[in-house]
Amino acid sequence: MLKTEKILHLKARGRSVRAVREHYLREDVRCGSALCLTCPRDGKLLSEDLTHYVVPDCQILQDYLEVLEFPELRGIIIMQTACQSVQHQRGRRQYKRLCSLLRDTRHDCILFSNEFQNHAYLPREMGESALAWQTRCIYNSCVWYYQHCQKKIPVVMVTEDKSVIRQYNTETQEVYVVSFQIYLETFWPNLKGALELYKSLKETHRERELESREGNGKEYPEHLPLEILEAGIKSGRYQQGVLSVNKHRAQLEGFVRLQGLGGKETDIQSDILIYGTKPRNRAIHGDLVAVELLSRSEWKGRNGALCENETDEKAVDAQAEVMPTGRVVGILQRNWRDYVATFPAKEDIETQGKNAQRVLVMPWDYRIPKIRISTQQAEALQDYRVVVRIDSWESTSLYPNGHFVRVLGRTGNLEAEIATILVENSISVNPFSEAQLAEMPSNTPESPWQVKPEEGDRLDLRKTHLVFSIDPKGCEDVDDALSIRKLPSGHLELGVHIADVTHFVPPNTYTDIEARSRATTYYLADRRYDMLPLILSADLCSLLGGVDRYAVSVIWEMDSSTYEIRRVWYGRTIIRSSYKLSYEVAQQLMDGDLEPLNTEMELHPLKQDPVRLEQLLWAVGKLTEVAHATRMRRDMSGALELEGVEVRVQLGEKHSIDDLVPKQPLQMHETIAECMILANHWVAKKIWECYPQHALLRLHPPARQEFFQELKECAKARGFSIDTRSNKALADSLDQANDPSDPLVNQLLRMMATQAMSNARYFSTGSYTEDEFYHYGLALEKYTHFTSPIRRYADIVVHRLLLAAVNKGPKDNLLGNKDLEELCRHINVRNRAAQHCQKQSTELFQCMFFKDKDPDSDQRCISDAVIYGIRTNGVLLFLPRYGIKGAAYLKNIDGLVLACKDNGRCHWMPGSLQRLPDRIVVTTQEAKSFSYCLFDHVTVRIHVQSSRFHPDSIRLEIIRNRPHSSQEALPSASNPQLARSELVKEVTRTAVEAQLAVEGAEELKPVEHYQEYRQTQGQSLYSMLEELWDLALLDVSGA
């Protein structure tokens, strides 16, 4: 043990205090080398096949951590001394990044606690600088490491300090001290990307030093110190929130949504507008900022005109109401990430110096400002998407400074565009590591996986229950299966059986850590990136037909006439699914169509077995009846039926796009959704009862009333009144807002209600009061996610909680409230990224579909559209055929307006526009007037606007003010597939209403048992509901 003492003289109190620091040293500090024969071999080890170990010094770790993140660089030893220097000098964000690197099993690197090893540690000498001591300590640790491994493998210390190289390079044989550049060029000559990134970072550091020495004039005011910002927020002088830039007016409009007001009363109830880039004061979209309100005379209104990312202020909406406007005075937290960018044209590149070029690259995301980087590759990478990172934004610079990271591919190439979407959403889809795959069980023809005899405590349902699954066509990751049967008592038994992922993924294993990091499976238009290795997601965890599988089941016993639940059982089971049905096949069977017996291979035997066929038909029909009964109970409390059109990209060979097909809503979608909602609700109740302070639940807060304003105005234009005071009032008024002549009116109103919704999110129950648990969209007091553990990590956590609650799983690995709340925040962020990613990939394929078509001659580029929004210079349109929402201008950049002839054809001519609440009136110079009203059908031409820097986008042009003559049939409430569902409703309605009448007698009492089954009637898709409740889709106007 080393002991140091210091005498501290406290002037204020006139006395001295002796401070003693004790530093404990040990001999048995684990080294982490696979070549070591003495240290324990538990935990992460460096690979055995390495030719050398490399040790970065403090400066390398601080300035070039991104280079060390290349997985090809192996055998990296991070000394505790260098790790602590990152923590103290680079802040929490980079320190967390370093910790993630050390935990990641894909990276061959370890942390060595050199400051606790008796022979590796050196105490700091009197008068020695901190940097000199750190370097000496790290070098001594390198020498110890080389000798500890019995001189079997050389050790290379990398540094940027030339004096260190001169001092130590020849001191110890086989312990080398070299510059980072020489190390990369010598040991990794084929790893060009790492060397290029190193040079880019080095040039960035050099440029930053030059700028600081030059001290140019300030372009922005300095940010206030953190302590002043915190005091101002507490007093109410400043407001804090996350900056959200309007991507359609990125140079003009940013908004700060208030959060964390520190308990201070404020009369600000809306977002704060940040108008222009100067008041934004170097804040970037996503940053947590502190804002000072301007005087009321300086407040501005949000622009209601359509625009295409103009940087001017010509399109001003005179009718816009002013809103609180402010300026950014400080940054509370930077949320910078990797950005995809494109180099400007060759003639626009500014050259500075002989060896480097300072270039302003244009980010893919409209909301991000241009980034200045230094690189020698600007001309060579003209037509490529590249990844850049922001390093700083000084007050003397108009633009942030950054550096080049890597190349994604050529602009327009499908794989490059998909990679762009992934990077922009911070999604990493690296292959699963060898360590993770080594944890997987085997299932090969030579060694098939089998149910283990020691799993005898599971309830075996293989011989007693008819279990089947209903999923989309081609689904491989089957999370859930169902069963329903009559009991000898006359009651019904309904079972929801969910894949038992936790059996194969114990807590804190490599697979569990990776699944937690990914948080969800990412579904794109043409592919998916799994949360779990394929052996689990598509095989051993997937509840495929005809094979034994482990499950976690919820089984209810219910009254056979009223479907009232009598009791519920939770536990682990063994099942064998008899049938793997698609939604379409299940719908046909429910409708009495037996054609699938001829077309579906696994149903062929039923043609010769009428008994089993009757069992399956009864089960599907009864399941639907039960689902309707539970929906009716929830419907009484105002569960919302949200609307949207989910588009399926129909792919041909080599990623050619054959068509864009809106998915047809079927009654079976609603049936399965209801069963899953029921299971999620009951599991939520159970885990909260057992773990009230750290259960993972899901809440959906009520929407802010101002977000419903446009919905109310649109409904009023059609003569409907929308009541938004509660979810029950909203559901009832949406049900009544039905135009028999045009079912799309109700669909659009529901889509607008969806857009106004708040986001549902996961939370830990210990961080909220019970009255905050409510799920507004489902009208349930408690809700969680339990039914999809193959593709959602939240469900895995819920499975562990449930099994611990029923004494079928360990309790020692359950997370406490603080850790669970942090995990919930991470999962919420990842889920939002997954939704954005899916949406952007669909938009990419929509553009690809139309890009190679001639809009003037190809009839697929002509479509019917419905007006659902009015702006000062155009309208917002919805195209049901393709599920596209977009804008169409009625006034172009030349000042001409879109007028219509008597035959409905539209053409541009001089005139003016007048915006009214329910219409926009076009008046020509000849005093002729034409109106475009809300919910009018028009014919549009679709074309693609290509961009070198940004994603391609769909552009709409109104060519006739009448419906498209060849308008195709669209999914609606009148779909004939739903005819049988109405009959089923009638069959179950009498029994359920009788039960509800009994409840009505006790309506004044808080009877929780029946308030927990609420859902409105009508078709909906379970997966669509989850997406739409979580993410209100933004229309292209950004208004």
What are 374-424's pLDDT values in tens digits?
888 888 888 899 999 999 998 988 999 999 999 999 999 999 999 999 999
d(CA 873, CA 306) in angstroms, rounded, equals 6
Q: Beta strands of 522-624 (E only): which ranges?
A: 522-523, 528-529, 548-558, 565-576, 579-582
d(CA 60, CA 113) in angstroms, rounded, equals 18
**What is the per-residue pLDDT for 662?**
77
d(CA 729, CA 722) in angstroms, rounded, equals 8
Closest by Cα among 900, 902, 866 to 883: 866
d(CA 920, CA 931) in angstroms, rounded, equals 6
- Domain range 854-960, CATH architecture: Beta Barrel (2.40)
pLDDT at 12 over 60: no
Write out the H or E segment, with its range, that includes residue 682.
helix 667-690
d(CA 79, CA 155) in angstroms, rounded, equals 13
Name 745's Cβ contacts closer than 8 Å, sequence gap at least 6.
718, 737, 738, 739, 935
pLDDT at 819 over 80: yes
Fold match flag (209-219+337-411 vs 226-333): yes
Check: CB of residue 734 under 8 Å from CB of residue 642.
no
**What is the per-residue pLDDT for 10?**
55
Check: CB of residue 491 under 8 Å from CB of residue 622.
no
Pair type for strands 401-410 and 371-375: parallel
Which one is predicted more confidently, 309 or 448?
Answer: 448
User: Torsion angle of alpha carbons 30, 34, 40, 42, nearest 10°?
Assistant: 100
- When computed from its CA atoms, the radius of gyration of the chain, rounded to whole angstroms, is 32
pLDDT at 482 over 60: yes
d(CA 774, CA 783) in angstroms, rounded, equals 8
pLDDT digits (tens, 9 = 90+) for 342-371: 998 876 665 444 445 788 999 999 999 999
For range 641-668, the mean pLDDT: 77
User: 3-class DSSP state for residue 275?
Assistant: strand
pLDDT at 548 over 90: yes
First and final C-alpha spacing in the chain: 66
Note the Cα 767 to chain centre separation in Å. Answer: 22
For range 597-626, the mean pLDDT: 93
For the purposes of burial, counting CB atoms within 10 Å of the CB of 59, is it exposed (0-12), middle (13-18) or buried (19 or more)? buried
pLDDT digits (tens, 9 = 90+) for 823-879: 999 999 999 999 999 999 999 999 999 998 999 889 999 999 999 999 989 999 999
d(CA 175, CA 158) in angstroms, rounded, equals 11
pTM for this predicted structure:
0.84
pLDDT at 64 over 90: yes
Q: Which tokens sit at 727?
A: 């979810």
Half-sphere exposure of 620 (CA within 13 A, CB side): 28
Cβ atoms within 10 Å, residue 736: 13
Check: CB of residue 909 under 8 Å from CB of residue 896.
yes
In the 8-state DSSP scheme, what is residue 975? -
Q: Beta strands of 401-491 (E only): which ranges?
A: 401-410, 459-460, 467-471, 480-486
User: Torsion angle of alpha carbons 605, 609, 610, 615, nearest 10°?
Assistant: -80
DSSP codes, 1010-1024:
HHT----SS---HHH
**What is the per-residue pLDDT for 273?**
94
Strand ordering across the sheet containing 929-933: 896-900, 906-916, 919-924, 929-933
- Domain range 29-190, CATH architecture: 3-Layer(aba) Sandwich (3.40)
User: 3-class DSSP state for residue 479?
Assistant: coil
Note the Cα 459 to chain centre separation in Å. Answer: 36
* Tally of residues, the chain: 1039
Half-sphere exposure of 906 (CA within 13 A, CB side): 24
Write down the mean pLDDT value for the chain: 85
Identify the top-confidence range among 29-43, 171-185, 246-260.
Answer: 171-185
Q: Beta strands of 722-807 (E only): which ranges?
A: 761-764
Name 25's Cβ contacts closer than 8 Å, sequence gap at least 6.
1, 2, 116, 117, 118, 121
pLDDT band at 930 (very low <50, low <70, confident <90, very high): confident
Beta bridge partners of 945: 953
Q: Which tokens sit at 608?
A: 């010769």
Q: Beta strands of 45-150 (E only): which ranges?
A: 53-56, 76-79, 109-112
Closest by Cα among 532, 571, 524 to 551: 571
Cβ atoms within 10 Å, residue 343: 27
**What is the per-residue pLDDT for 1020?**
37
Q: What phi and psi, each to the nearest 5 degrees, are found at residue 377? A: -110, 15
Identify the top-confidence range among 318-322, 754-758, 948-952.
Answer: 948-952
Closest by Cα among 204, 474, 487 to 358: 204
Q: Which tokens sit at 583?
A: 């939604």
Amino acid of residue 170: T
Q: Which tokens sit at 276?
A: 């222009």
Check: CB of residue 241 under 8 Å from CB of residue 268.
no
pLDDT band at 269 (very low <50, low <70, confident <90, very high): low
- Give percent of the chain with pLDDT exceeding 70: 86
d(CA 139, CA 149) in angstroms, rounded, equals 16
Check: CB of residue 271 under 8 Å from CB of residue 212.
no
- The CATH classification number of 226-333 equals 2.40.50.690
For range 311-315, the mean pLDDT: 43
pLDDT at 902 over 90: no
Cβ atoms within 10 Å, residue 332: 19
Tell me, which fold does domain 209-219+337-411 have in CATH?
OB fold (Dihydrolipoamide Acetyltransferase, E2P) (2.40.50)
Check: CB of residue 704 under 8 Å from CB of residue 933.
no
Beta bridge partners of 410: 384
pLDDT at 463 over 80: yes
Check: CB of residue 907 under 8 Å from CB of residue 899.
yes
**What is the per-residue pLDDT for 218?**
82
DSSP codes, 916-958:
ETTEEEEEETTS-EEEEETT-EEEEEEEEE--SSS--EEEEEE
Beta bridge partners of 116: none
Closest by Cα among 420, 422, 425 to 410: 420
Domain boundaries, the chain: 29-190, 209-219+337-411, 226-333, 854-960
Half-sphere exposure of 533 (CA within 13 A, CB side): 21
For Cα atoms 474, 478, 484, give the angle at the middle one, nearest 5 degrees.
115
In the 8-state DSSP scheme, what is residue 115? G
Q: Which tokens sit at 987?
A: 């069959």
- Give percent of the chain with pLDDT exceeding 90: 56
SS (H, E, C) 800-841: HHHHHHCCCCCCCCCCCHHHHHHHHHHHHHHHHHHHHHHHHH
Q: Which tokens sit at 598?
A: 């001829």
pLDDT at 1005 over 60: no
Check: CB of residue 116 under 8 Å from CB of residue 25.
yes
User: 3-class DSSP state for residue 646?
Assistant: coil
H helices present in 188-316, as ranges = 192-214, 226-235
Which one is predicted more confidently, 124 or 565?
Answer: 565
SS (H, E, C) 280-326: CCCCCCCCEEEEEECCHHHCEECCCCCCCCCCCCCCCCCCCCEECEE
Least confident residue range of 237-241, 771-775, 806-810: 806-810
d(CA 280, CA 236) in angstroms, rounded, equals 20
